Structure 1
Amino acid sequence: MSTLRPNQLVIKAGALPPSLMVRHFKPDEWEEFIERSALQCEVNGRKYHQVKRFGGPGDAGRDVEARLTGALTVDQWDLFQAKHYKAPLTPGEFFPELAKFFLHLAAGTYPPPRRYFVCSPQNAGPDLHDLIASPAKLKQRFLTDWAAGKTGMKNLVSGLTSEVRAVIDAFDFARIEECLLRDLLAWHAIDHVTHCRIFHIEAERGDDPTMPVLPTEDELIYVEELVAVYSEQGSAARTVEEVMRTAYADHFTDCRMEFYCAEGLKRFSRDLFEHDEFAKLLDMVLKGVRTAVSSPRHSVGLDRLDAAVSRASSLTLTDSALHGRLRGGDIAGTCHHLVNEKKLRWIK
């Protein structure tokens, strides 16, 4: 038996994967990306109270400030340092920013953060990674290089005063962590709509479910309504098996096929959309077909069914998030789903 092609999110033709696309961001776009990611991040099961991007001149060494509480207090905020380079981050690129951080910490610009996150599109290179993984070595190397004016800090030597050194000595370098790109992307993806828009990701509809030979319990209501429609037309059939031996067999099967087309759309909505877009579509269709079904011109159920399907097929449904992925049979199938949910009836 062949495997059904699944519903999935795919990158549009010609677009780069997110992990590569971020490498082409401008520095301010990288900061905005980190800000949006931090907005979705949870700390101990709770999102940050406030996330604000500074960036640029005057940021005091904090590109993004994420507060755990309303006030900016000791250990109740996280600092996200955004460094955007064409290669993995090196100590020479990071240390000057860290020096700026300690200068502002000593000046009282802000209190010590709970975490200092280093964010770079290609993460930290081997040298910086190993230093961050060993806080004691990081502190020693940083202090030694600053005092000697090495690793990009040649013009910062005079800033290493006794007061600043005391702040560095008191600071726990284990608070400095590398924030991996994969984690930033995972947080960013929580805001599904924004993530897909920025990274050119679209929902691809897979194969619709295969219609079983006999109706399932999930089809019971609309199937019974169809049997009643045929009975009203003079059919003596009272069960599905009996209907399948009458002139109504093809119509019955076609209606079921339409139901399963719409069922595929329903699962597509469930699998890939944040909100229940299928329910919204059903509501649009219901509002559009209600007067056609209730028209006094229709005296029998088959006429109401045909009127509903005809009206539904003529509706403009571009406001639906599913509009671009509709297939033949979907809209007719929504009418049967509405019956199955007891929102429409063919027999009065």
Structure 2
Amino acid sequence: MNDVSKDTFKILTEDIPEPTSQGGVSSGKIVHGKLIPPQQQIFLFSADDWEAFVEEWAHYQRTQYKIVTRLSASADMGIDVAGFTDDEGFQGAWDNHQCKHYSNAIAPSTAIPEIGKCIWHASEGRFAPPRKYYFIAPKDCGMSLKKLLLNSADLKSKLFEKWDDWCADSITSTKTIPLEGDFLAYVEAFDFSIFTFKPTLDIIEEHRKTPYFAARFGGGLPDRPSAETPPEEPDPNESRYLQQLLDAYGDHNGQPCADTSALAAWPELVAHFNRQREVFYHAESLRNFARDNVPQGTFEDLQDEVFSGVIEVEGAAHDSGLSRVNAVTQAAAQLPLTANGLISVTKIQDKKGICHQLANDDRLKWVKP
């Protein structure tokens, strides 16, 4: 029986205070919650996602590779993502990126069979030995493997030591590969310094420079550079939309307008012309920004959305081609774009300029027959 008296036993309680304020909360945090850093997100990737991520990274190593390809699992020969530096393919200079997506860091018992597979297929003439063979994994290589990869003599010794246990029966499902004869001589002469690893943080930082980073990891787009100022002399790629503008001015004035010199008599049209070139270059700068920061097709989707938003205005009756230009660009400026990945960096000038890009492609016409 408890010796404590009912009269002396007390339960002390304390009111829970209001949580400390974190200040204002952004709409992004309300919608998406706390952003998970990329180095943690990759732990949630599937094996296919991991290989696709590495492929995205490798594809944009333009200074190193002419072609990047991913082999199917059924015939990979120990090759996941290959980067070729010339037109000779697997018989030329190339790098292999071996992608492992395990819950733990890569151990020697995983890496050495892959190394054995690479050496054996190379000895069979299926490909020239790669220039570099990188192990890549979300949790990197374990310390014991890193030590081996940083010392090619030790790596070679470990492969010889563990060949029968780890390699002989894992290279191909059809037969055991003994380390003997001509193959033994080939392994003895092989350059084991090609085998190394690529730290995951390095790949993430290099992937950050690709158009796929924001789409894969979130966190928003980088700051957008200022739009280029239109050159005094129009560029040849402006020819069609500028001709459409001149046609619209001629339609407005009731007389042909062959070139910009004909606008001198109408200062208000000169100012209008210059403004249209400015917004066109705004849209061109957004096109260039999209090329470097979002997946291919994102900007084209934005153009299609603007087109859908203004085409009924373009097709309506207007007093002149100039009235149509103004009505369409004003309608574009008011479009409530909500879905495209570029909306956070899209300005009113861009939406107007996209109209002239569409006119440049004859998708919009200012003067109707």
TM-score, length basis structure 2: 0.54
Could you tell me whether the CA contact under 8 Å between 1:48 and 1:67 is conserved in 2?
yes
Q: Deviations over 1:127-164 (max 9, x none)?
A: 111111111121122212225x3xx4474685222322
Percent identity of paired positions between Structure 1 and Structure 2: 23
Residue 26 of structure 1 pairs with residue 46 of structure 2 = yes
Could you tell me whether the CA contact under 8 Å between 1:106 and 1:164 is conserved in 2?
yes
Residue 128 of structure 1 pairs with residue 148 of structure 2 = no
Match for residue 85 of structure 1?
102
Out of 143, 168, 173, the residue aligned to residue 187 of structure 2 is 168
Greater RCO structure (CA 8 Å; 6+ sep) = 1
SS at the partner of 1:34? helix
Match for residue 209 of structure 1?
none
1:64-143 aligned at under 5 Å gives the runs: 64-74=81-91, 76-143=93-160
SS at the partner of 2:127? coil
1:1-348 aligned at under 5 Å gives the runs: 12-13=32-33, 16-42=36-62, 45-55=63-73, 57-74=74-91, 76-146=93-163, 149=165, 152-153=166-167, 155=169, 159-192=178-211, 194-203=212-221, 273-274=290-291, 311=331, 314-315=334-335, 317=337, 322-323=342-343, 331=348
Residues in 1 aligned to 2:104 and 2:152: alpha-carbon distance in whole angstroms: 23
Closer/same/farther in 2, CA of residues 269 and 88 from structure 1, 3 Å limit = same
User: What is the letter of the counterpart of residue 26 of structure 1?
Assistant: S
Residues in 1 aligned to 2:90 and 2:327: alpha-carbon distance in whole angstroms: 66
Residues in 2 aligned to 1:104 and 1:14: alpha-carbon distance in whole angstroms: 47
Residues in 2 aligned to 1:310 and 1:48: alpha-carbon distance in whole angstroms: 44
RMSD of Structure 2 on Structure 1 (CA): 5.1
The gaps in structure 2 that reach 5 residues or longer are 1-30, 171-175, 225-278, 294-298, 356-369
Could you tell me whether the CA contact under 8 Å between 1:67 and 1:76 is conserved in 2?
yes
Could you tell me whether the CA contact under 8 Å between 1:88 and 1:120 is conserved in 2?
yes
SS at the partner of 2:55? helix
User: What is the letter of the counterpart of residue 195 of structure 1?
Assistant: F
SS at the partner of 2:89? coil
Deviation at 1:35, TM superposition (A): 2.2
Residues in 1 aligned to 2:54 and 2:332: alpha-carbon distance in whole angstroms: 44
Could you tell me whether the CA contact under 8 Å between 2:50 and 2:101 is conserved in 1?
yes
Could you tell me whether the CA contact under 8 Å between 1:102 and 1:164 is conserved in 2?
no
Closer/same/farther in 2, CA of residues 203 and 139 from structure 1, 3 Å limit = same
Could you tell me whether the CA contact under 8 Å between 1:289 and 1:312 is conserved in 2?
no
Count matched residues. 267
